[in-house]
Amino acid sequence: MHKTHGNGTFRLKDFKKIGENVIFEDGVRVFHPENITIGNNVYIGHNTYLKGYYKNEMKIGDHAWIGQDCFLHSAGGIEIGRAVGIGPTVKIITSTHREEDLSKPLIFCDMNFDKVIIEDGCNIGIGTIILPGVKIGEGSIIGAGAVVTNDIEPYTVAAGVPAKLLRRRRKIGKLK
């Protein structure tokens, strides 16, 4: 017997919740939309995968912009805040295989699930990879091609492999 999670086609009524003025470009694929909430005025670019999961949730806040060819896998949960920009080809991963059982191949080992949180007003540069359990603080900027392995403080700029603090941003007022 063969099973599948489907082919990624979706209907708006299948989402847990979906706001107004949500744009899905050609080739967007959505899996487990029943566990995905999308706010108002959200753009999702060409060929992006929103991989909901049979448990945990993916939440995308109002005014988010997600570029083309992104891969968001919410097995551990993903929360994307308001007014977040996510550049093309960004990958957000929320699960890994446990590696302590050396008696079997890694792919057969149990999984760890860790939520990724991207707070309001962040900008995630093109090609960034965000690993499980990371929290990116409000108003932060992640440079192109970074691999984010640890939390990023609010109002900072980080880049590199692994991503490291480059500088702090000056906070002028509260995000609206």
Cite the active site residues.
97
**Measured CA distances, 159 to 71, 128, 129, 148 (Å):** 20, 9, 11, 8
Q: Are 140 and 157 in contact (CB under 8 A)?
A: yes
Q: What DSSP assignment string belongs to 84-100?
A: -EE-TT-EEE-EEE---
Tell the burial category of 71 from Cβ atoms under 10 Å away from its Cβ (0-12, 13-18, 19+). Answer: middle
